[in-house]
Amino acid sequence: MDVRVTGCGPAEPFLSARDVFETEYELTLPVDVEIRENPDERTVAGHYEDHHELLVSQRAATSAMARELALHEFAHMARYEEEHPSHVQSTEEALFLALAGKSVERRKLAHCYQIANHMKDIYADDITLDIGPTEKLVAFMESSLASAVADSPPAAPGDWERWTEAADPEITAVNAAFALALLERHDAIERDHRLYDLADAAAADAPGVSLAAFKNHFQSLRRDPDESEYRQALVDVTREYAIDGRQAAD
């Protein structure tokens, strides 16, 4: 597995992540990692015929989560190479099928894309949580959700989005469901963990969103769905958020 790191930051987290990743998985194409100075730049991954590309801010590359971030991105690359339905299904197509004939506000539509990304992350992190330690991710999710519920979070580097100041209560509740579903899926969290209390608080702020329903959507995703099954799952969760939840609230 060929990982090439350039730019103004340390190569070690990415090479260390490669070593961990290679214990169970392999990438056919080389990975070009470019570390950039811009502290506000988000992590961006690209997939091409002859290589993968990962653009990372210097802030993310030097953070405590750098190796975990790299593992997460390598897992996405593996899913692209194996043409897993979660990574080849057109999000736009699924959202069109789910929302055809419906009027959906722009805020909700943006959230639907975030939910689709959560579903991709479930499958990527089925890899990362199988091969890497979970403690940092659990702590990161706890901190992110606590910040969103308190509505006063600092910014954080990396591809796992921290739920930021003035976070919308409805998508925060979905984010909480995603965090619980992912961690429960891998037995990475105890039932008395603070995340459950935080998730309940997030759900209380969004009575139109069913925490249990969204947790079930994410947690019940089969490891090896076919294209039709995955498309239907994405359609179902989109309708749950943009249509069914709105009708329940009304």
- 163 plus 216 within the same structural domain: yes
Query: Has residue 9 been placed in a domain?
Result: yes
- 124 plus 238 within the same structural domain: yes
- 198 plus 96 within the same structural domain: yes
**Domain final residue, candidates 65, 94, 119:** 65
- pLDDT attached to residue 38: 76
- pLDDT attached to residue 44: 87
**Domain final residue, candidates 65, 94, 117:** 65
- pLDDT attached to residue 245: 59
Query: Has residue 78 been placed in a domain?
Result: no
Query: Has residue 32 been placed in a domain?
Result: yes
- 214 plus 109 within the same structural domain: yes
Query: Has residue 77 been placed in a domain?
Result: no
| Whole-number Cα distances in Å, 44 to 53, 54, 171, 189 | 8, 6, 22, 29
Concatenated DSSP letters of 21-39 = HTTT---SS-EEEEEES-T
CA atoms of 58 and 244, how far apart (whole Å): 41
Query: Has residue 223 been placed in a domain?
Result: yes
- 50 plus 89 within the same structural domain: no
- 95 plus 60 within the same structural domain: no
- 126 plus 225 within the same structural domain: yes
What phi and psi, each to the nearest 5 degrees, are found at residue 138? Answer: -60, -45
Q: At what angle do helices 135-150 and 169-185 cross, to 10 degrees?
A: 160
- pLDDT attached to residue 248: 45
Query: Has residue 72 been placed in a domain?
Result: no
Query: Has residue 79 been placed in a domain?
Result: no
- 9 plus 104 within the same structural domain: no
- 35 plus 136 within the same structural domain: no
- 48 plus 133 within the same structural domain: no
Domain range for 18: 3-65
* DSSP for residue 141: H
Taking only the tens place, the pLDDT of each residue in 32-67 is 999 998 766 678 899 999 999 999 999 999 999 999
Looking at the 3D structure of the chain, how many domains does it have?
2
| Whole-number Cα distances in Å, 62 to 131, 202, 243 | 22, 31, 41
- 33 plus 149 within the same structural domain: no
- 136 plus 181 within the same structural domain: yes
Give pTM, 2 decimals: 0.88
Query: Has residue 75 been placed in a domain?
Result: no
Spell out, as residue ranges, where the chain has pLDDT lower than 50: 152-160, 162-165, 248-250
- pLDDT attached to residue 42: 72
- pLDDT attached to residue 133: 84
Please identify which residue in the block is written with the tokens 């935080």: 198
